[in-house]
Structure 1
Amino acid sequence: MQFDFGFLVTMMPALAEAVVANATIAAIALALSLLIGMALTIVRTKKIRPVNAVIDLVISFVRGTPLMVQVLLAYYTLPLSTLSSGPMIAGTIALAINSSIYVTEALRAGLQAVDPGQVEAGTALGLKRGTIWRKVLIPQLLYNSVPVITNEATFVVKGTALLSVITVVEVMRTSQQIGSANYQPFEAVVGAAFCFFVMNTLVIAIGNLAERHLRRRDER
């Protein structure tokens, strides 16, 4: 089998267009996962046993089942509810929920690194609990968790490839269609791999920039 570099070059514009779908889904899913993960972290600190038991069950399910299964569950179950959703919305929700579980675990670890004396000092100053979270804890949590969140972002980007199984037209599905139509699947897979490599290289670069920026601000 001879690799056709020329065919790879000709298919890259189509894959570049499909990258927009992957990037959009990943960005929305990651933003939602940060919000959900932060909310779960705050709720878990309240130590309400029945609520924490449900959260622990959800965490166990998400961590114990493949992301592919979760994507398919979202795709087939969401239309049964009052929420009308297409494959892209279902896939984004599945990725967001999956990622939020790992985000909340990262934030919980980051919370343990925060000096509890800061909370006591805030309470002594008369600050409300919500203000302490917003002004004291959340900024430090995000700072401590930047490397883990960056790593999680790369997993979210790679996870968008699984949405091809529910007919979302993204890089993987586009490459499969082009490869099948031209009987050159290897070149198509290489093109898809290159697109994901570029996307995650950018994600890591952005994460490193954010970490350096936060570190410089902390040193001032």
Structure 2
Amino acid sequence: MGFKLDHLMSILPGLANAALVNIRLAAVIMLLALLLGTALTILRSLKIAAVNIAVAILISFVRGTPLLIQIFIAYYVLPAIGLDLSPEVAGVSAIAFNSMVFVSESMRGGLAAIDGGPIEAATALGLPPRIIWFKVVLRQLFRRIVPVLINEATIVVKGTALLSVITVVDVLRTAQQIASASYRPFETLVGAALVFLVINLAISLAGRVAEARFALTRA
């Protein structure tokens, strides 16, 4: 059974349409990861011992366990304690939780590199900590971690493929269904890989444009 290019071309539109699910879920996940990661970073900066211990345990769990297991916990274990989530909600929650930790770790590293001058000036003017964080610190911080965020976005997009195991009909699930019906898994998996490649190349290109604009702004 040789490779058939015409079959690959015929299934690409269906896979591209299914990719809209991955793109939508990845966008929601990145938004949640940014919001939660920022909140976690600010919380850690307060240096509350009990909180930092709890956060350290959380980070160790997320970094030390596979993402797939975290997805299974959200979908199969949480219903046992009364949180019966739909496949998409469970998947988004698990991946956003995972990504939140890595975003927070990146932000924590970026804090050490930001310019302290504007912060000292804002403090001398008597601005409240909330204003200093949102008007001074976070603006510098987000500019510095743009490359990290772009890399995390590509990881999140690829991570959404794991949601096919909890019945989310995305690119990979659609590819599996096509392969089962056509008995041609080779072309189907190549098509799914191409779809993910195009999405992540687009994200990387957008990230380079954003980096260039931020560089011009700093200049």
Give the TM-score band, short-chain normalised.
over 0.9
Alignment coverage as a number of residue pairs: 219
Amino acid corresponding to residue 214 of structure 1 in structure 2: F
In structure 2, what is the Cα distance between the partners aligned to 1:109 and 1:128? 23
CA drift of 1:215 comes to: 1.2
Q: Displacement, 1:163?
A: 0.4
In structure 1, what residue type is equivalent to 2:110? G
Partner of 2:22: 22
Distance in 2 (alpha carbons) for counterparts of 1:104 and 1:21: 26
* Aligned partner letter, 1:202: A
C-alpha displacement of 1:123: 1.2
Which residue of 2 is the match for residue 42 of structure 1?
A: 42
Name the structure 1 match of 2:104: 104
1:65 correspondence with 2:65: yes
Q: Which residue in the other structure is 2:209 paired with?
A: 209
* Distance (Å, rounded) in 2 between the aligned partners of 1:96 and 1:206: 21
* Cα deviations by residue, 1:32-75 (Å, 9 ceiling, x for unpaired): 00001101110111100100111111100000000110111111
Deviations 1:13-39 (A, max 9, x none): 110110010000000001100001101
TM norm structure 2: 0.97
- In the TM superposition, residue 86 of structure 1 has moved relative to its aligned partner by 0.7
1:79 offset after TM fit, Å? 3.0
Q: Secondary structure at the match of 1:20?
A: helix
| Equivalent residue, structure 1, for 2:177 | 177
Q: Does 1:151 align with 2:125?
A: no
One-letter code aligned to 2:141: L
Look up the match of 1:115.
Answer: 115
Aligned-pair CA distance for 1:113: 0.4
Structure 2 residues not aligned, in runs of 5+: none
Percent identity, please: 50
For structure 1, list consecutive stretches of 5 or more residues without a partner in the other structure.
Answer: none
Letter in 2 for 1:24: R
Task: Return the offset for 1:116.
Answer: 3.3
Deviation at 1:84, TM superposition (A): 4.4
1:12 corresponds in structure 2 to 12
Structure 1 window deviating more from structure 2 (114-123 vs 127-136): it is 114-123
SS in structure 1 at match of 2:10: helix
* TM-superposed deviation, 1:85: 2.1
> How far has the Cα of 1:158 moved from its partner?
0.3
Aligned counterparts of 1:53 and 1:116: Cα–Cα separation in 2: 27
RMSD over equivalenced CA pairs, Å: 1.1
C-alpha distance in 2 between matches for 1:199 and 1:122:
41
Q: Which contiguous aligned blocks of 4+ residues in structure 1 show a shift greater than 4 angstroms? A: 81-84
Shift of residue 218, structure 1, vs aligned partner: 1.5
Question: How far does residue 166 in structure 1 lie from its aligned partner after superposition?
Answer: 0.3
